[in-house]
């Protein structure tokens, strides 16, 4: 008899949707890690508050943008592909197409500014009141401005920002100064160091120059912007500048600033974050709250998309776009939005994530009016979602979780947690979580060791899905016959896999006990001779024929003796009673009445599973036998007279966890005779 002590178990008790509480554009620059119980994307995705790029001629005031670019030597490691220059050049072209009258200034810094007005009077000095210092920057220039040589402002800025992308000079600007620095630092002892424009990081110098550049602009403060690209922490500033090297964190006098940090160094991220908060609150303009910062690890892949979608779009948004639709493409499958409200695009259903990493491509379509014409603009977002055990969600993300459904098993309308040999016809009930549907779905039924496997189609019932299968213990496997063939040592595993998401799995294992419910009450004699072989002994009006070590549990009183056997026919003829043949622990109650219904005697005891194992084996498989015989005496120990008597025998098979989950009761009535010789 194989007995499994464990109960049915479920795998994956809770499943969750990933919920975006903020615009997806906030999460395009890195991998979103989510806990492993997150297996869906929520069907509601926020609309992004950014507006679309709109060109409306004179009705669109051109912005003023100053780029602040870090060109210190450490950028060779954090930006080895020189994305800060390549992307800025690309953005200049994009900006020109959107609004050619945009005004742009450029500050490139390390421990000094890389341009010198003595090399070219077009450069503007950062220290106009100090003729001993010559750090300079590219002044604010309209992109469509045409100079006397015929070149445009766009052409000029792109030429001055051209760089050398090879050898030891990688990252050096073509027009950076060769003039020696006027200031000294601990890192400028040699002549080479004096002319080097890659040493040190003086962020305060970069921001002071940018603010000086912006001070010459007459644009509305709400339409002035800084774009700051750096890997971050000031170091090796020139002598005399140590006291102000952290001034940039204060954000005083800075317009709306978009900051992109290259890398993941916590100290730098913290200081840049504090700067961002200070700029948002500095009162420079009514739009300061638009200031944001991002950290990226792969500038060459991420920087252009980030700046185009999350920086350039807001800068050039002068006509609000009305969100009209969205498409979400996951694993090559497109999902179209079915509705939109003031906050969210709504999709018809949640979208499944992949087991490890999922690329989510969103395309938002906005509608706007330009010069009396209705136009549309598509804004893309690409997200990478990775499921990691124990991960925590970043700010702006949350999860909506619910308990998974449940699998239960029934036999003839009664729920079973343990399958026994009696259960040859079983019904599966699949109860799904709230809101889930299952049309024509199925469950897989198989043993945990044997080879059979059955697919059971489910049909809707009252609040659940149900299907039926048979089972038998057999080595002859017949696949697809809707009957599970298995060995006595198998448990039975039932698995539901959501057809829309293979990560949504409900699995329950049911232990199997190769025990059938067997109970039989067999008569010993129909009549007995009540001749006294010995004097009556009070309290032994019954005998149990079994091992002398047997220790049944008495009911009201113990009124029996245990004898190992009935040696002779005369011994056997002396008793009437019953033979109990059962498949597990049982309880016996025998009541004896006269033929007129008067109470004569009774016996009441329980044989638990431990004591049951001591009994002799019965005729049927896995059964045991015990004779319970009446010694023809009344309850007070006196002999019963000659006559007919009624025996009412009730035997209850007990519920035993891990072996049998249900009780079974049998009641037997018999008329017996007693013939007294004396």
Predicted confidence (pLDDT) per residue in 75-117, tens digit: 988 998 899 999 999 999 988 987 899 999 999 999 999 999 9
Beta-bridge partners for 601: 592
The residue among 447 and 301 whose pLDDT is bigger is 447
Q: Is the pLDDT of residue 56 over 70?
A: no
Q: Is the pLDDT of residue 49 over 90?
A: no
**pLDDT single digits (tens) 372-418:** 567 888 889 999 999 999 999 999 999 999 888 899 999 989 898 88
* Residue 291 pLDDT class (50, 70, 90 cuts): very high
Cα dihedral 588/584/619/472 (nearest 10): 140
Looking at 376, 402, 428, the residue that finishes a domain is: 402
SS3 letters for 519-539?
EEEEECCCEEECCCCCCCCCC
Closest CA to 492 of 518, 454, 459, 466: 454
Query: Does residue 464 lie in a domain region?
Result: yes
Residue 648: CB atoms within 10 A of its CB come to: 14
CA 94 to CA 400: how far, in whole Å?
A: 40
* Residue 517 pLDDT class (50, 70, 90 cuts): confident
3-state SS assignment for residue 588? strand
Kindly give the interhelix angle for 299-307 and 83-98, rounded to the nearest 10 degrees.
20
375-379 own/partner pairs: CB under 8 Å, 24+ apart = 375/54, 376/324, 377/52, 377/53, 377/54, 377/321, 379/25, 379/48, 379/50, 379/52, 379/309, 379/313
Residue 100: CB atoms within 10 A of its CB come to: 16
DSSP state of 127: -
The residue among 38 and 583 whose pLDDT is bigger is 38
Are 263 and 233 contacting, i.e. CB atoms less than 8 angstroms apart?
A: no
Q: Is the pLDDT of residue 186 over 70?
A: no
CA 24 to CA 592: how far, in whole Å?
A: 83
3-state SS assignment for residue 356? coil
pLDDT at position 232: 84
Residue 284: CB atoms within 10 A of its CB come to: 21
Whether residues 30 and 117 fall in one domain? no
Query: Does residue 80 lie in a domain region?
Result: yes
Cα dihedral 235/239/244/249 (nearest 10): -10
**In angstroms, how far apart are the furthest CA atoms of the chain?**
148
Query: Does residue 54 lie in a domain region?
Result: no
Q: Is the pLDDT of residue 288 over 70?
A: yes
pLDDT at position 57: 44
CA 452 to CA 332: how far, in whole Å?
A: 35
Whether residues 110 and 256 fall in one domain? yes
Whether residues 237 and 380 fall in one domain? no
pLDDT at position 116: 96
CA 462 to CA 251: how far, in whole Å?
A: 64
CA 244 to CA 204: how far, in whole Å?
A: 7
pLDDT at position 431: 92
Burial 311-344 (b: 16+ CB within 10 A, else e): bbbbbbbbbebbbebbbbebeeeebebeebeeeb
pLDDT at position 661: 66
The residue among 461 and 98 whose pLDDT is bigger is 461
Query: Does residue 557 lie in a domain region?
Result: yes
SS3 letters for 65-121?
EEEEEECCCCHHHHCCCCHHHHHHHHHHHHHHHHCCCCEEEEEEECCCECEECCCCC
CA 289 to CA 310: how far, in whole Å?
A: 14
pLDDT at position 119: 95
Q: How many domains does the chain have?
A: 4
Whether residues 426 and 376 fall in one domain? no
Residue 274: CB atoms within 10 A of its CB come to: 13
Q: Is the pLDDT of residue 35 over 60?
A: yes
Burial class (CB in 10 A: 0-12, 13-18, 19+), 121: exposed
pLDDT at position 52: 52
The average pLDDT across 335-357 equals 95
* Residue 215 pLDDT class (50, 70, 90 cuts): very high
pLDDT at position 263: 87
Q: Please give the distance of CA 217 from its chain centroid, rounded to a whole number.
A: 51
Min mean pLDDT across 168-172, 416-420, 495-499 is at 168-172
Host domain of residue 414: 406-513
Sequence-distant (6+) residues with CB within 8 A of 86 are none
Query: Does residue 473 lie in a domain region?
Result: yes
**pLDDT single digits (tens) 518-576:** 888 999 988 888 655 455 556 789 999 999 999 999 998 899 999 999 988 888 888 99
* Residue 193 pLDDT class (50, 70, 90 cuts): low
CA 62 to CA 6: how far, in whole Å?
A: 73
Cα dihedral 55/60/64/65 (nearest 10): -30
* Residue 50 pLDDT class (50, 70, 90 cuts): low
Query: Does residue 10 lie in a domain region?
Result: no
CA 329 to CA 352: how far, in whole Å?
A: 11
* Residue 5 pLDDT class (50, 70, 90 cuts): very low
Query: Does residue 53 lie in a domain region?
Result: no
Beta-bridge partners for 108: 69
Whether residues 554 and 646 fall in one domain? yes
* Residue 11 pLDDT class (50, 70, 90 cuts): very low
Half-sphere exposure of 105 (CA within 13 A, CB side): 29
Q: What is this structure's pTM?
A: 0.51
Looking at 375, 402, 429, the residue that finishes a domain is: 402
pLDDT at position 253: 96
Query: Does residue 2 lie in a domain region?
Result: no
**pLDDT single digits (tens) 328-342:** 999 899 999 999 998
SS3 letters for 594-627?
ECCCCEEEEEEEEECHHHHCCCEECCCCCCEEEE
Q: Which is it for the CA torsion 65, 57, 314, 256, positive or negative? A: positive
Kindly report the backbone phi and psi dihedral angles of residue 302, in degrees, each rounded to the nearest multiple of 5, phi listed first. Answer: -105, -25
DSSP 539-550: T-SEEEES-TT-
Q: Which is it for the CA torsion 569, 570, 573, 574, positive or negative? A: negative
Kindly report the backbone phi and psi dihedral angles of residue 157, in degrees, each rounded to the nearest multiple of 5, phi listed first. Answer: -65, -40
Q: Which helix (H) or strand (E) holds 464?
A: none
| Average pLDDT over the chain, rounded to an integer | 88
CA 446 to CA 510: how far, in whole Å?
A: 11
First-last CA distance in the chain: 50
Q: Is the pLDDT of residue 478 over 70?
A: yes
The average pLDDT across 630-641 equals 88
Are 590 and 649 contacting, i.e. CB atoms less than 8 angstroms apart?
A: yes
Whether residues 186 and 219 fall in one domain? yes
Looking at 402, 436, 461, the residue that finishes a domain is: 402
Residue 137: CB atoms within 10 A of its CB come to: 26
Burial class (CB in 10 A: 0-12, 13-18, 19+), 228: buried
* Residue 663 pLDDT class (50, 70, 90 cuts): confident
Are 159 and 152 contacting, i.e. CB atoms less than 8 angstroms apart?
A: no
Specify the CATH number for the domain of residue 116. 3.40.50.410
The CA distances from residue 675 to 275, 405, 527, in Å, are 110, 67, 7
Beta-bridge partners for 675: 529
Q: Is the pLDDT of residue 623 over 50?
A: yes
At which residue do the structure tokens 């500038």 appear?
299
Specify the CATH number for the domain of residue 461. 2.60.40
* Residue 125 pLDDT class (50, 70, 90 cuts): very high
Whether residues 578 and 656 fall in one domain? yes
Residue 163: CB atoms within 10 A of its CB come to: 20
pLDDT at position 293: 92
Whether residues 110 and 189 fall in one domain? yes
Kindly report the backbone phi and psi dihedral angles of residue 258, in degrees, each rounded to the nearest multiple of 5, phi listed first. Answer: -110, 120
Whether residues 437 and 289 fall in one domain? no
**pLDDT single digits (tens) 234-287:** 998 998 899 999 999 999 999 999 999 998 888 888 899 999 999 999 999 988
Whether residues 495 and 603 fall in one domain? no
Whether residues 287 and 226 fall in one domain? yes
Whether residues 498 and 623 fall in one domain? no
Half-sphere exposure of 126 (CA within 13 A, CB side): 24
Beta-bridge partners for 666: 651
């Amino acid at each position: 008899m194989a007995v499994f002590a464990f109960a049915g178990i479920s795998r994956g008790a809770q499943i969750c949707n990933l919920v975006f509480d903020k615009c997806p554009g906030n999460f395009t620059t890195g991998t979103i890690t989510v806990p492993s119980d997150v297996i869906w994307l929520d069907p509601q995705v926020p609309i992004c508050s950014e507006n679309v790029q709109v060109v409306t001629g004179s009705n669109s005031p051109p912005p003023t943008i100053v780029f602040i670019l870090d060109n210190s030597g450490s950028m060779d490691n954090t930006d080895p592909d020189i994305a800060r220059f390549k992307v800025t050049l690309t953005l200049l072209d994009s900006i020109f197409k959107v609004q050619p009258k945009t005004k742009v200034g450029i500050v490139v810094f390390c421990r000094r500014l890389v341009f010198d007005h003595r090399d070219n009077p077009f450069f503007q000095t950062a220290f106009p009141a100090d003729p001993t210092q010559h750090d300079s920057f590219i002044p604010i220039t309209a992109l469509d401005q045409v100079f006397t040589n015929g070149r445009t402002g766009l052409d000029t800025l792109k030429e001055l920002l051209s760089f050398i992308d090879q050898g030891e000079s990688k990252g050096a600007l073509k027009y950076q100064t060769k003039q020696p620095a006027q200031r000294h630092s601990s890192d400028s002892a040699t002549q080479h160091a004096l002319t080097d424009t890659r040493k040190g990081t003086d962020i305060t110098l970069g921001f002071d120059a940018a603010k000086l550049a912006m001070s010459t602009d007459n644009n509305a403060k709400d339409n002035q912007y800084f774009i700051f690209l750096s890997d971050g922490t000031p170091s090796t500033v020139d002598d005399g500048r140590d006291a102000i090297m952290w001034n940039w964190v204060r954000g005083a006098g800075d317009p709306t600033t978009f900051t992109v940090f290259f890398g993941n160094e916590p100290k730098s991220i913290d200081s840049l974050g504090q700067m961002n908060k200070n700029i948002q609150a500095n009162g420079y303009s009514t739009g300061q709250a638009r200031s944001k910062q991002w950290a990226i690890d792969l500038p060459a892949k991420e920087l252009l998309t980030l700046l185009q979608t999350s920086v350039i779009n807001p800068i050039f948004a002068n006509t609000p776009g009305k969100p009209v639709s969205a498409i979400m493409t996951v694993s090559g499958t497109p999902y179209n939005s079915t509705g939109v409200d003031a906050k969210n695009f709504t999709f018809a259903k949640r979208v499944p994530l992949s087991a490890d990493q999922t690329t989510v491509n969103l395309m938002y379509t906005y509608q706007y009016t330009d010069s009396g014409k209705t136009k549309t603009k598509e804004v893309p977002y690409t997200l990478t979602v990775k499921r990691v055990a124990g991960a925590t969600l970043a700010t702006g993300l949350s999860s909506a979780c619910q308990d998974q459904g449940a699998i239960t098993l029934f036999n003839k309308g009664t729920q079973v947690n343990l399958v026994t040999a009696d259960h040859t016809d079983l019904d599966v009930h699949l109860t799904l979580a709230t809101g889930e549907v299952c049309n024509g779905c199925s469950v897989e039924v198989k043993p945990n060791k044997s080879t059979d496997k059955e697919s059971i189609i489910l049909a809707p019932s009252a609040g659940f899905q149900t299907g039926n299968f048979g089972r038998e213990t057999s080595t002859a496997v017949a696949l697809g016959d809707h009957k599970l063939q298995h060995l006595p040592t198998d448990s039975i595993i039932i698995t539901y896999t959501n057809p829309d998401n293979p990560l949504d799995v409900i699995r329950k294992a049911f232990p199997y006990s190769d025990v059938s419910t067997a109970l039989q009450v067999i008569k010993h004699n129909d009549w007995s001779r009540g001749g006294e072989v010995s004097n009556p002994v009070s309290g032994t009006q019954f005998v149990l024929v079994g091992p002398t070590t047997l220790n049944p549990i008495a009911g009201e009183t113990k009124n029996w003796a245990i004898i190992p056997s009935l040696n002779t026919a005369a011994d056997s003829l002396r008793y009437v009673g019953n033979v109990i043949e059962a498949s597990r622990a049982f309880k016996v109650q025998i009541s004896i009445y006269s033929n007129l219904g008067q109470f004569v005697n009774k016996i009441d005891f329980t044989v638990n599973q431990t004591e049951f194992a001591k009994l002799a084996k019965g005729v049927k498989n896995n059964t045991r036998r015990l004779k319970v015989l009446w010694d023809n005496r009344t309850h007070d120990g006196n002999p019963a007279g000659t006559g007919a008597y009624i025996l009412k025998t009730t035997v209850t098979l007990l519920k035993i966890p891990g072996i049998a989950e249900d009780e079974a009761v049998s009641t037997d009535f018999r008329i017996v005779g007693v013939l007294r010789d004396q």
